[in-house]
Amino acid sequence: MLDPGDAKGDNAKEPMKRWRIREELKKIREFVQNPESTNVVIAVATVVIAVATVYTYSEIHSGSTQTDKIIAADQRIATAMEKAVGQAGVALNASVDASRTDQRAWVADVAITGVPTIGQKWIVSIKCKNTGKTFAKEFRMRTAVYKAMPPRTQPDFTQGTEVPYGSISVLAPNAEYISNTTVTGDAISGHPLANPTQADLDLIESGAITLFAYGKMEYSDIFRKHHWTSFCFHLSRKIEWESCPVHNDTDSN
């Protein structure tokens, strides 16, 4: 059972609580309205704002430093990747070039026949061969025979540019091509040995004249690269063909 005295005591405390709340609110209002109290509040708030500002600046500065470090690291990574890509490109180009070199057509002269013989038409034959692994396309070749007399040791081969190319052909791998040039004694070849005599052979054997066979071949490989090979032979005093020390060359493609 409830004690009537206890219930009456609780009801008596309730007005006291409300009075205390009113008193506390009054004190706060008086404190706020007091100029000195306002200055204190402003000072405290200023300190709090300053502390917050310093903290915020510190965080921003720290974040900025971290961002700079991240950017620097990204730049190093980007530079390293650029170098790696560049090196990979160089390696790829080298691999492609090596593959083309291995697979391309290679055409060159491999033999020469036909020496002046008394009473016979003089025909010089140059044999060439594609030693590469693929076709030589648009193959063409020209040859001319020249004469040099002392004190000249060799003729002007630029005259040979007037000699037209022969037929255009396609050479398969390991295929051979023979170019036959009939010596006619015209202005380009520069000598009258179309039908050699003993006197002509005596001039050759004595070194009074030296005869040369010079020419050039051109072609394209399957990679659409243009190539050329030049060749030069001279007739020795033994009336045998020998390779010239110069004018044998090829392109660098």
Measured CA distances, 132 to 59, 116, 136 (Å): 71, 33, 8
- Cβ-Cβ contacts under 8 Å for 230 (sequence gap 6 or more): 214, 215, 216, 247, 248, 249, 250
User: pLDDT for 189-198, tens place per residue?
Assistant: 455 577 788 9
Query: Does some domain include residue 154?
Result: yes
* Rg of the chain, C-alpha, whole Å: 52
Q: Has residue 23 got a pLDDT over 80?
A: no
Mean pLDDT throughout 177-204?
A: 76
DSSP 239: S
Predicted confidence at residue 149, as pLDDT, reads 83
Q: Which domain holds residue 198?
A: 107-250
In single-letter form, the type of residue at position 136 comes to A
Asked whether residue 199 is domain-assigned, the answer is: yes
| CATH classification of the domain holding 232 | 2.60.40.10
Total count of domains within the chain:
1
Q: What does pTM read for this prediction?
A: 0.62
Structural tokens at position 215 = 């020419």
Evaluate if residue 241 carries a pLDDT over 90: yes
Residues, the chain, total? 253
Whether residue 161 lies inside any domain: the answer is yes
Name the least confident of 63-67, 87-91, 94-98, 119-123.
63-67
pLDDT number for residue 227: 96
**Averaged over 3-15, what is the pLDDT?**
50
Q: Which two tokens stand for residue 250?
A: 């090829």
| Residue 244 belongs to some domain of the structure | yes
Tokens representing 226?
A: 């243009």
Domain-embedded: residue 44 = no
Q: Does residue 13 belong to any structural domain of this protein?
A: no
Residue 11 in domain: no
Burial 43-79 (b: 16+ CB within 10 A, else e): eeeeeeeeeeeeeeeeeeeeeeeeeeeeeeeeeeeee
Q: Sign of the C-alpha dihedral, residues 19, 20, 21, 25? A: positive
More confident site: 79 or 210: 210
**Arithmetic mean of pLDDT, 100-129:** 93
In a domain, 162, yes or no: yes
Query: What are the pLDDT digits (tens) for 117-163?
Result: 998 888 999 999 999 999 999 999 988 888 888 877 888 777 655 66
Answer whether 249's CB lies under 8 Å from 227's CB: no
